[in-house]
């Protein structure tokens, strides 16, 4: 394989910054995520916020999230934007620690990563890789000594994964497979733990979007809502399409309270009830809200909406 060194300070270099900027794209963002100044000695794992990264790239937040969604859907990057954690699962394969002492040096950066589901996933992935390099590397990663020693990496508490067992029960595992003819980092299949974490983060993102758009700040992401969003993904809809469905519901006067009951029908269970419903709302997302046809397109759900979540 061929490797080229790229200094992270390039993103702050005066001459480099004077060049025409990258346009929002998944390829451009992937290169940035691999080389930006937020990266640490831990391959592929670091803390960074979406707004700050978008600003540094000169992109709108919408453009940034669109490119990030494309990367996550291909399994190249896993991101928890709420916790501001970025993880590139295959980065360690191309940035192997040269000695056990290199792994020991990860400690300070590890402590800077916020506790979250994604940190737990990164722990398992990095631990497995280190152990695969040999006994000394594995021992360097997790030594049998008191928790908190300067020479150990402390495993994040499993308490940071709420309802993990319930959240995964009876769910069909979904794998992301890239072009097997490629020799790049896209060739690996996400294992079940990575896939489940990625799906959990996508479910959380959809819920947060719904919560914001429908103005339900006190709403909770309970198991029923999780299952309904997961079912929508299993139907083949992606992040942007489910967000469009939420937009379409908000764009529909009937669902926003312009009905004889003067009641809003904007629940997650209603929006993602089935494929036909999701497609209907996606279509409504691009229609002017003053169009009278919007009310007629949802009139047939008048009765069932009474039981919406």
For residue 17, give both structure tokens: 């910054």
What's the sign of the alpha-carbon dihedral 57, 61, 66, 69? positive
pLDDT digits (tens, 9 = 90+) for 83-131: 999 999 899 998 999 999 998 888 888 888 998 888 888 888 888 898 8
Residue 239 and residue 124 share a domain: no
- 131 and 254 co-located in one domain: no
Assigned domain for 12 exists: yes
Give dist(CA 73, CA 198) in Å, integer.
9
As a three-state string, the secondary structure of the chain is CCCCCCCHHHHHCHHHHHCCCCCCCHHHHHHHHHHCCCCCCCCCEEECCHHHHHHHHCCCHHHHHHHHHHHHHCCCCEEECCCCEEECCCHHHHCCCCCHHHHHCCHHHHHHCCCCHHHHHHHHHHHHHHHHCCHHHHHHHCCCCCCCCCCCCCCCCHHHCCCHHHHHCCCCCCCCCCCCCCCCHHHCCCCHHHHHHHHHHHHHHHHHHHHHHCCCCCCCCCHHHHHHHHHHHHCCCCHHHHHHHHHHHHCCCCCCCCCCCCCCCCCHHHHCCCHHHHHHHHHHCCCCCCCCHHHHHCHHHCCHHHHCC
- Which residue among 161, 184, 219 closes a domain? 161
Count of domains for the chain: 2
- Condensed to tens digits (0 to 9), the pLDDT of residues 225-267 reads 999 999 999 998 988 899 999 999 999 999 999 988 899 999 9
Give a yes or no: residue 184 inside a domain.
Answer: no
Whether residues 227 and 134 fall in one domain: no
Over 60: is that where the pLDDT of 69 sits? yes
Considering the domain boundaries, does residue 288 fall inside one? yes
Q: Is the pLDDT assigned to residue 134 strictly greater than 80?
A: yes
Residue 154 backbone class (left: φ over 0; alpha: ψ -120 to 50; beta: rest): beta
Quick one: what percent of the chain has pLDDT higher than 70? 75
**Contact status, residue 64 vs residue 53, Cβ threshold 8 Å:** yes
- Whether 49 shows a pLDDT value over 50: the answer reads yes
pLDDT band at 147 (very low <50, low <70, confident <90, very high): very low
The arithmetic mean of pLDDT across residues 260-284, rounded, is 93
89 and 200 assigned to the same domain: no
Residue 293 covered by a domain: yes
Q: What is the mean predicted confidence (pLDDT) over 202-225? A: 90
**Is 114 inside a domain boundary?**
yes
Residue 3 located in a structural domain: no
Which domain CATH number covers 122? 1.10.10.10
Same domain, 202 and 154: no
Rounded to the nearest integer, the mean pLDDT of the chain is: 78
User: ∠ CA 284-287-288 to the nearest 5 degrees?
Assistant: 130
Range of the domain at 229: 194-307
| 127 and 260 both lie in a single domain | no
Q: What are the pLDDT digits (tens) for 73-90?
A: 778 898 888 899 999 989
Residues 73 and 150 in one domain: yes
Q: Hey, how many other C-beta atoms are within 10 angstroms of the C-beta on 202?
A: 21
Is 180 part of a structural domain of the chain?
no
Residues 58 and 144 in one domain: yes
Q: Is residue 96 part of a domain?
A: yes
Instruction: Output the pLDDT for position 144.
Output: 33
Distance in angstroms (rounded) separating the CA atoms of residues 24 and 64: 6
Note the pLDDT of residue 73.
76
């Amino acid at each position: 394989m061929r490797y080229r060194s790229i200094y992270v300070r390039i993103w702050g270099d005066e001459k480099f910054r004077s060049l025409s900027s990258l346009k929002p794209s998944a390829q451009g963002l992937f290169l940035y995520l691999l080389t930006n100044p937020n990266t640490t000695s831990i391959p592929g794992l670091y803390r960074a916020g979406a707004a700050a990264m978008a600003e540094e790239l000169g992109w709108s937040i919408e453009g940034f999230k669109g490119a990030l969604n494309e990367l996550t859907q291909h399994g190249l990057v896993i991101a928890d934007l709420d916790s501001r954690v970025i993880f590139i699962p295959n980065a360690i394969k191309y940035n192997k620690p040269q000695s056990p002492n290199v792994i020991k040096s990860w400690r300070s950066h590890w402590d800077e990563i916020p506790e979250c589901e994604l940190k737990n996933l990164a722990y398992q992935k990095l631990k497995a890789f280190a152990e695969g390099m040999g006994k000394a590397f594995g021992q360097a990663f997790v030594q049998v000594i008191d928790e908190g020693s300067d020479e150990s990496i402390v495993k994040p508490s499993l308490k940071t994964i709420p309802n993990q067992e319930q959240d995964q029960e009876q769910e069909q595992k979904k794998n992301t497979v890239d072009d097997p003819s490629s020799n790049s980092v896209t060739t690996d299949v996400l294992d079940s733990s990575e896939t489940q974490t990625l799906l959990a983060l996508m479910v959380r993102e959809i819920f947060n979007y719904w919560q914001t758009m429908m103005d339900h700040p006190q709403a909770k992401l309970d198991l029923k809502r999780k299952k309904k969003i997961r079912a929508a993904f299993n139907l083949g809809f992606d992040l942007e399409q489910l967000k469009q469905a939420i937009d379409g519901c908000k764009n529909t006067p009937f669902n926003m309270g312009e009905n004889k009951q003067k009641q809003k029908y904007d629940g997650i269970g209603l929006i993602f009830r089935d494929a036909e419903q999701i497609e209907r709302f996606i279509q409504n997302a691009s229609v002017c809200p003053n169009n009278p046809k919007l009310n007629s397109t949802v009139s047939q759900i008048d009765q069932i909406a009474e039981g919406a979540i």
